[in-house]
């Protein structure tokens, strides 16, 4: 298969810590995920009580659900992560984010490596817009080049149960440098694991559904201290 990103785009990713790829996913593939997510919510909550307020579904849809499995393992995605230098890909985590109209909550500025850490850090985050995402309905905001600021914290399993933050740097984010990325349905935003990003609340009447996927390289160490762990019978898998 031919490369999904050009040399220039790779240089851009290195420099900025993110890359916007328009029209990466077919609109019909986006719609399939949206209707499947709706079905899953309905099955989970037949009375419909939570359906309008559910925030997200995580974290193993790509392994547990056939529709998400198929989308997450598209050859185009496999090629893309290979282009980005992930030689032995393992699909670690997925999340379906609803960002419901009028009530979709904000996600404060963070680095994904806080939650999914590897040594060395060889991981990529993929954020698929399943609907048009603009400033009014809570699109992604990023700090370009902010992946060079270093990892601020890790979210780890605490001794004796539960989780805690391990903080390396408690300085504030230079949020004045945040810039919004308004994208059309089907766009993919590739995120470096150290890139600071956020999304604001959705007070508009338009929902802003997105699907995210994190893929690591099997050659690096995935620490036992990461909050997200799989049992030996249910290991991370590749494509
Ligand atoms: Fe994130």
Do 94 and 58 touch, CB atoms closer than 8 A?
A: yes
State how far the Cα of 142 lies from the Cα of 24, in Å rounded to an integer. Answer: 20
Neighbouring-strand partners of residue 180: 141
Give the pair of three-digit tokens for residue 55: 């925030």
Ligand 1 mean position, distance from CA 193 (Å):
8
Calculate how far, in angstroms, residue 199's C-alpha sits from the geometric centre of ligand 1. 9
Question: What average pLDDT does the segment 4-33 reach?
Answer: 98
For the residues of 34-56, what is the DSSP string, one character each?
Answer: HHHHHHHHHHH-TT-TTTTT--E
Confidence band, pLDDT 50/70/90 cuts, at residue 163: very high
The rounded Å distance from CA 113 to ligand 1 centre is 9
- Full-prediction pTM beyond 0.85? yes
- Mean pLDDT computed over 161-171: 96
Q: Tell me, in angstroms, the distance from the centre of ligand 1 to residue 46's CA.
A: 30
Average pLDDT, the chain: 95
Is the confidence at residue 183, as pLDDT, over 70?
A: yes
Structure confidence at residue 90 (pLDDT)? 98
Distance of CA 37 to the CA centre of its chain: 16
Distance 110 CA to ligand 1 centre (A): 6
How many angstroms does the Cα of residue 160 sit away from the middle of ligand 1? 27
What pLDDT is recorded for position 47? 74
CA of 198 to the centre of ligand 1 (A): 7
Say how many Å lie between the CA of residue 47 and the centre of ligand 1. 31
- Virtual CA dihedral for 224, 168, 220, 198, nearest 10 degrees? 100
């Amino acid at each position: 298969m031919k490369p999904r990103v050009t040399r220039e785009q790779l240089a851009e990713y290195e420099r900025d810590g993110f890359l916007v790829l328009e029209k990466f996913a077919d609109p019909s593939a986006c719609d399939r995920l949206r209707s499947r997510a709706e079905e899953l919510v309905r099955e989970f909550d037949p009375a419909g009580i939570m359906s309008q307020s559910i925030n997200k579904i995580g974290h193993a849809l790509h392994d547990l659900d056939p529709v998400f499995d198929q989308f997450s393992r598209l050859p185009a995605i496999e090629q893309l992560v290979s282009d980005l230098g992930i030689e032995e890909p393992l699909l670690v985590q997925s999340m379906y984010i609803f960002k419901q109209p009028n009530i979709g909550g904000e996600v404060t500025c963070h680095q994904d490596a806080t939650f999914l850490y590897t040594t060395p850090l060889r991981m990529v985050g993929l954020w698929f817009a399943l609907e048009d995402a603009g400033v009014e309905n809570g699109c992604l905001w990023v700090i370009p080049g902010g992946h060079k600021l270093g990892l601020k914290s890790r979210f780890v399993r605490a001794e004796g149960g539960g989780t805690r933050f391990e903080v390396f740097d408690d300085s504030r984010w230079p949020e004045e440098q945040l810039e919004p990325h308004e994208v059309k349905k089907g766009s993919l935003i590739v995120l470096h694991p150290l890139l600071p990003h956020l999304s604001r609340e959705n007070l508009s009447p338009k929902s802003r559904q997105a699907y995210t996927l994190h893929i690591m390289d099997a050659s690096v160490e995935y620490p036992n201290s990461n909050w997200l762990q799989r049992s030996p019978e249910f290991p991370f898998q590749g494509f």
